[in-house]
Amino acid sequence: MVLPMPQLPILLHIPDGFLSTWVATVFYLITIACLAVAIRKTSESYQESTAPLMGVLAAFIFAAQMMNFPVAGGTSGHMLGGALAAILVGPWAAMVIMACVVGVQALVFQDGGLAVLGANIFNMGIATALVGFAVYKAVTGFGNGKRPFILVGTFAAAWVSVMVAAFLTSAQLAVSGTSDWGIVLPAMLGVHALIGIGEGVISAGAVAFVLATRPDLLGITPDFGDSTLAGEHVR
Amino acid sequence: MSYFALGERYQHGQGLLYRVDPRVKIVIAVAFAFAITVVHAGHWQAFAGFGAFVALAVGTSRLPLWLVLRRSLIALPFAAAAFPLIFTKPGDTIFTVPLLGWAASHEGLVHVGSIMLKSWLAVLLAVVLTSCTRPLDLIRGLERLRLPRVLAGTIFFMYRYLHVIGEEGHRLMRARDARSASGPDGGKSGGSVLWRARVLGSMVGSLFVRSLERSERIYAAMQSRGYDGTVRFSNERRLARRDWGVLLVAVLALGGLIIYARF
Amino acid sequence: MPVSDLMTVAPPSVEEGPTPTRSCAVRVTNLSYAYPDGHVALRDVNLTIYAGERVALMGPNGAGKSTLLMHLNGIFGGARSRGTVEVAGLTVSPATLKRVRALVGVVFQNPDDQLFSPTVGDDIAYGPLYMGLDRQEIDRRVAQALAAVDMAGFEERMPHHLSIGQRKRVSLATVLTMEPEILVLDEPSAGLDPRARRGLIDLLRSLPQTLVASTHDMRLVRDLFERAIIMQEGRIVVDAPANEIIHDAGLLEEYGLELP
Amino acid sequence: MPVSDLMTVAPPSVEEGPTPTRSCAVRVTNLSYAYPDGHVALRDVNLTIYAGERVALMGPNGAGKSTLLMHLNGIFGGARSRGTVEVAGLTVSPATLKRVRALVGVVFQNPDDQLFSPTVGDDIAYGPLYMGLDRQEIDRRVAQALAAVDMAGFEERMPHHLSIGQRKRVSLATVLTMEPEILVLDEPSAGLDPRARRGLIDLLRSLPQTLVASTHDMRLVRDLFERAIIMQEGRIVVDAPANEIIHDAGLLEEYGLELP
């Protein structure tokens, strides 16, 4: 059975026409500035392996967004992935990855508009990575990096990141005059408070898997000497 | 048969727009999406002008009209975000929803209609341009538009491995679904929603580990063939006279439309 | 017994041949399937497999082997399929799907696709947990399945850290816990070194279930299967006792197969 | 000629035996390697391969075959290795790495790892592009390599639209464009159906390069290689003419291999 296209969090992929010229332009500029920093930081961390690593992980996020689980009544849940990416590879690399995912979704698959691309990348890629990573670090730091705190931190980071993305989207719509604060904000936050639980559980499940099988990957920048070729996968 | 091929919009065809450099098409699509944002609500003549621009694009692409229209519906669900304005925007009441007592205002209808029109026209043009450009050419177009190398390189690898990793994700779901059965007595099955979400989390985690390990093998394969950390591209192409012509016409038309809409 | 239109060899004759006392494990009738891109993967396939039979599906890549296997528990099917598939007397349809999945255990080719939990124990418990069985029964089945594949005591290990041979065994255990009547295996010996392969053959021989497996591995066919089917371009072109097929050099040559 | 400490069979004797006129393609001296987790993958390996030889590397998964292959062009090496590797007279070291990688073409087992560009043409041009060749020469080599693997005209195709057999051929083309003297192949026949496999064997036979390949496929050994090496636990334990090894049932049994 071939499934339909990835069901993305549609209400976070703003289409063209819904943001005013100023809001769209301002967020393009903010996004470009953030990405400039993110690209520099990422290149420093990963050096030669930046392009293949970021590219494969961007494909991973794209694929992960496509995977779903049945919720009820024929609907299914899936993830956005910004906070998870930040937890797994750090906020800067996560921004680069998410920018490429959201950009290709807009350009090749028409999920999200082109003039509003800056806003969409900011909401789903930059804000989720920064806020998610901050929440994760705060919780794990509080718990000295013990396993339960890593999982709770991941859940909290993922939930908050979805709420922040929903808030930003609502705010941009309201400031652009395409929605009423009084209606869009409670509606979006209400729906995403539930969606965020799914995001949190999926993200925590993913981190639990990584923690069990490759704990070396969590919070540590992979060392891409020949050392990482160790392990069964190259035999 | 690749999973993602279904989501790609490219449609074989012969129109003039097929032969235009992807860079030009990307620039036009982005410029159009921006230009249409400046139109005031209710300025129907300006919308007609933008509509004519889209019609011209559809004509020169020679894409089937029904295909373009069908694909343009992708942004429709988002209309829900603007819809309440019909009732909340102050103005002359046109009708009242029975039972609920919501009053629809003239200004609200004009405003929401304009938003929908902007969105629809921008999506239409984007659909036209991506339907007559191979996804790979779009990506090459981005690279030739001087996107930072890290981003261009990431997007190239992402596009290549979308198919490989997407298939892996698809197979994981298939293996899970093959084991999602009801019990012998036909009793309640499926576990809790949270358990199912956690299982999906495990699958995502396993896909991550596999992706990371794959990136290590790819890196080894690249090194074996001389990769030294600098991303190089072999395809450098100058814009042809036709490309400049199309770009010029589009820029003049959009510029004219902006001026007409605002001044 | 339905016979494919292009069948060149007589249908299976396992000792006494099909008698009314042998129940039918799989009955595929006039099954066709087309991919969304229009490529036809199955053309009017008819096939009956009796309970307890071990049947190998051979043929080149792209012949339709996997597509046929994926129909046996309803992974493929729906609008793009025509024809019917019955397993253990149940017609595969959206209404029976969840029941069919319990009756037919599918083991995919790559254990990394099959095993998605952090530990072996979690993975093997997935099927029974989803079925809503109680804890005690689940524990019993997990222990039994692990013992059956000779991996007892591996509950807490991580599939990711096991050898490919061990992961293949665990993959099998993940469906054995569902106590299926029919096992469907996609390329069970692919990627195994000779020693691991022999272990797998011994293990599969010890199972009582009806076995249907796609394979390129002629030795596996020789050592494990009593009946073999060759597919080509979405059709069943040969259906005969395995030991006849594997000794028929002309036939193997014709379909691009090798002598074992 | 260096002889491994556990060698049980006489070193290779290809007709006239090694004479001073035959140049040395690979010379591995006292090579050991340990993974970061302490697992020792290679123990004091000594090996000489002459130009034009075709050598198969056999042994169970985890015996060190891939680790040895990855040393031949310096993907592995450095602080965790001891001993020296020489290819075509050049000692592998950070200073010679670029030249070594042009001399030794490595084809990885999984074509999806080897083919990392969006199109076949880009991928095949990758090596020459990084060698700094000019556009004309690159185009010439791409066309030549595609013709050599019988895939002419596939430049604009995407790897995911090709069959596994075609992807394996393109993988080979990606290193042929670098015009290497030595080809290193990891499990070249894995995942191929019998017909695709025979096509690959014919193709590899037609190439003039020195070939070193790891494989479990005893028929590939029989049909392609003149010399075979068996590894176990990081050591070379057998090094002999392939046709002696593949007919020595006792030896194959001892190392968990099968008769072809």
**pLDDT for A175-230, tens place per residue?**
998 888 888 899 889 989 999 999 999 999 999 999 988 888 875 433 333 333 33
pLDDT at residue number A111: 85
pLDDT for the residue D170: 93
Average pLDDT over residues A23-41: 95
User: What pLDDT is stored for residue D2 in this prediction?
Assistant: 40
pLDDT at res. A225: 37
Query: What proportion of chain B, given as a percentage, has pLDDT over 90?
Result: 47
A contacts of D78 (beta carbons < 8 Å): 225-226
| Mutation target vs B (from C106, C110, C113, C115; most B CBs, 10 A cutoff) | C113
Q: What is the pLDDT of residue A219?
A: 55
Q: What is the pLDDT of residues C244-260, one digit of tens each?
A: 998 888 888 888 887 76
Compare CB distances from C194 to D193, D195, D216 and report the shortest one's residue: D216
Does residue B227 sit at the A interface (CB-CB below 8 Å)? yes
Q: Which residues of B touch C160 (CB under 8 A)?
A: 206, 209
Give D48→chain C minimum CA distance, Å.
26
Does D31 contact chain B (CB < 8 Å)?
no
Segment C32-42 mean pLDDT: 87
Answer with the residue of higher pLDDT: B176 or B99: B176
Nearest Cα neighbor of C227 from C5, C18, C33 is: C18
Per-residue pLDDT, B236: 67
pLDDT at A48 over 70: yes
CB proximity C161 to A under 8 Å: yes
Mean pLDDT to the nearest integer, C81-98: 91
Residue B187 has pLDDT above 80, yes or no: no
Is the pLDDT at D198 greater than 90? The verdict is no
What domain range is A150 assigned to? 21-226
| Range with lowest mean pLDDT among A97-101, B137-141, C102-106 | B137-141
Assigned domain for A58 exists: yes
Mind listing the pLDDT tens digit for each residue in B203-248?
Answer: 999 999 999 999 989 999 998 988 877 777 666 678 888 899 999 9
Percent of chain D with pLDDT over 90: 48
Asked if pLDDT for residue C11 goes beyond 60, the answer is: no
Strand partners for C45: C31
Residue C9 has pLDDT above 70, yes or no: no
Q: Mean pLDDT, chain B, as a whole number?
A: 87
pLDDT at residue B4 in the model? 53
CATH no. for residue A157?
1.10.1760.20
- Judge: C116–B176 Cβ closer than 8 Å, yes or no: yes
Residue C43 has which token pair? 């053309």
Minimum-distance CB partner of C131 among B5, B175, B182:
B182
Which of C35, C75, C118 is facing A209, going by the closest CB pair?
C118
How far from B219 is each of A217, D75, D210, D237, CA to CA, in Å? Answer: 17, 10, 25, 31
C160-203 pLDDT, tens digit each: 888 888 999 999 999 999 999 999 999 998 878 778 888 889 99
Q: What is the pLDDT of residues D227-249, one digit of tens each?
A: 999 999 999 999 999 999 988 88
Name the closest residue on chain B to residue C70, using Cα atoms: B178
Counted across chains C and D, CB pairs separated by less than 8 A come out at: 36
Instruction: State the pLDDT at residue D260.
Output: 67
Is the pLDDT confidence value at C103 over 60? yes
| Mutant choice from A202, A209, A216 vs C, greatest count of C C-beta within 10 A | A209
Residue type, B78: F
pLDDT tens digits for D118-149?
889 989 999 898 888 888 999 999 999 999 88
Most confidently predicted of A122-136, C15-29, C144-158:
A122-136
Confidence of residue B121 (pLDDT cuts 50, 70, 90): very high
- The answer on pLDDT for A150 being more than 60 is yes
Give the burial class of C29: count Cβ atoms within 10 A of its Cβ; 0-12 exposed, 13-18 middle, 19 or more buried: middle
Distance CA A114, CA A28 (A): 10
Write down the number of H helices and E strands in chain D: 10, 10
Query: How close is the nearest chain A Cα to the Cα of C75, in Å?
Result: 6
The CA distance from C102 to the nearest CA of chain B, in Å, is 5
pTM: predicted TM-score of the whole model, two decimal places: 0.89
Question: Can you spell out the DSSP letters for chain C?
Answer: ----TT--SPPP--TT---TTSPEEEEEEEEEEE-TTS-EEEEEEEEEEETT-EEEEE-STTSSHHHHHHHHTTSS-GGGEEEEEEETTEE-STTTHHHHHHHEEEE-S-HHHH--SSSHHHHHHHHHHHHT--HHHHHHHHHHHHHHTT-TT-TTS-GGGS-HHHHHHHHHHHHHTT--SEEEEESTTTT--HHHHHHHHHHHHT--SEEEEE-S-HHHHHHH-SEEEEEETTEEEEEEEHHHHTT-HHHHHHTT----
Closest-approach residue (CA) in chain D for C195 = D256
Q: Cα-atom radius of gyration of chain C, to the nearest Å? A: 18
pLDDT on residue D43: 93
Contacts of B145 (CB under 8 A, 6+ apart): B23, B26, B27
Strand partners, D29: D84
Q: 40-79 in A: which are within 8 Å (CB) of B?
A: 42-43, 47-60, 62-64, 66-72, 77-79
Rg (CA), chain B: 24
pLDDT value of residue B234: 62
Burial class (CB in 10 A: 0-12, 13-18, 19+), D254: middle
Residue pair A146/A103 in contact by the 8 Å Cβ criterion: no
- Which range among A65-79, A137-151, B196-210, D164-178 shows the weakest confidence by mean pLDDT? A65-79
Please, are residues D94 and D149 in contact by the beta-carbon 8 Å criterion? no
Sign, Cα dihedral of D75, D79, D81, D85: positive
Interchain pair C190, D191: CB under 8 A: yes
Average pLDDT over every residue of C33-43: 87
The pLDDT confidence band at residue C16, using thresholds 50, 70 and 90, is very low
Report the residue from D61, D165, D196 with minimal CB separation from C193. Answer: D61
Domain ranges for chain B = 9-133+238-262, 147-179+191-224
- As a whole number, the mean pLDDT across chain D is 86
Whether residue A213 and residue C118 make contact (CB cut-off 8 A), yes or no, is: yes
Task: State the smallest CA–CA distance between residue A26 and chain C in angstroms.
Answer: 43
Round to whole Å and give the CA distance between D115 and D101: 17
% chain C with pLDDT above 90: 62
- pLDDT higher than 60, residue C1: no
Rounded to a whole number, what is the distance in Å from the CA of B220 to chain D's nearest CA?
7
Mean pLDDT (whole number) for C219-243: 93
Q: Identify the weakest region by mean pLDDT among A197-201, A215-219, B49-53, B70-74.
A: A215-219
The Cα–Cα gap between A227 and A231 comes to 9
Q: Is C119 on the interface with B (CB under 8 A)?
A: no
CA distances from B193 to C99, C130, C137, C212 (A): 20, 11, 22, 33
| Complex-level ipTM | 0.88
- Total of domains in chain A: 1
Rounded CA gap, A54 and B155, in Å? 9
D180 part of contact set with chain B, CB < 8 Å: no
Q: What is the pLDDT of residue D4?
A: 39
**Residue C4 pLDDT:** 39
A·D CB contacts under 8 A: 26
Contact residues on chain C for A211, CB-CB shorter than 8 A: 118
Residue of B160, B221, B234 with shortest CB distance to D118: B160
